Structure 1
Amino acid sequence: MTRFARPAALALLALPLLAGCGGRGSVLTQRPQAPCPRVALIAEAVDLTRYRQGARPDLAAMEVDARMTGFGARCDYAPRDAGLDVTVQVELTAERGPAATGTTFDLPYVVGVTDESEGRVLNSGTDTLRVSFNGSERRTLARGEEMLVRIPGDVRRAAEKVVLIGFQLTPEQLAANRRRGVR
């Protein structure tokens, strides 16, 4: 074989091997894993304690005490190269207090996208997690529904943003959390 024929023959021998690489679902044709922005809980907003309306905030007046214990998050490319889609799901524990008159509580929370370099919130949305206690149950675990957060624009720049999660608190609840500190 000439020195030009040998590489051509090797290429022909490799064709059957390469035939398995094409087509649907092939590793060579799939997009790489989407990058993810940093996702975190807001330290001052992971606790929500609700008291009976008009009562002094003490243990006897507590209706529910909830704490965000974590979250699930996954990232994917938004359709039509519109940026990143971040799906988050909140996890929490809740305790029913002595002043509770019901077994179901709606706990509002917020998910925000921030730009740390500029120190500002770019977008935010709220949702409510419904917590239910069975019978005389005092403590429960709950997981929220998945919430989709789209970060528009260039994927690399979108991945540099930060997604923050916390309870939607009244000014009084936030002040109490700041006084108490992180538990």
Structure 2
Amino acid sequence: MGNMYWVAYRCWKEYEKFIRVFDFSDETFKDICFCPPSYGDNSHLSCFNGDSLSLLQQDAASRKIEVWVSSKLGDGDVSFSKYFSLSGLDLPALRVHATAARPVYCFVKPKSVIVWCVEVEGKGTDKACSCCTLYEIDEDGVKSKKVTERNYVRDYSRAFVCGYAYVPSMIPLPWVRD
């Protein structure tokens, strides 16, 4: 929709988690909706079908994953509904530490996501390393796993710096010269 969206937090009277947008057309910030109930800070936002948002959430303790999808943006009130969820011991930790980059994900087919995240191999050994790992996950569990990069420095937060994806628009932005 040509805007930027992210998960925001407000801690006034109660802890609130909501979706915030920066609308480039009038250069303003707006709150568009509350997030579904979540597992702390493990909520990751992405686009869905070009006119909706998706929210991937993971419980750090059980590793349960939930994927939520919003109603269409721009149609008035925005709300989320659960798209799919899965649980099991074979699920990866999509964010190994608060300083690690947030996972990046996208949908490849219905109820299936590709997730790129930081993982630690050989934890607690001399050969420990951080890895950028690509997972294909659907409602039946992990379908495939591929390590795309290894970093033998024992600081997994440096595996990759930015966990964001940008999908370019075919609509050009106006160029303004000073």
| The two structures share one fold, judged by TM-score above 0.5 | no
Shorter-chain TM-score: which interval? under 0.3
TM-score w.r.t. structure 2 length?
A: 0.26
Ranked by relative contact order (alpha carbons within 8 Å, sequence separation 6 or more), the top structure is 1
Larger strand percent: 2
Q: Larger Cα Rg: Structure 1 or Structure 2?
A: 1
- TM-score normalised by L of structure 1: 0.26
More helix per residue: 1
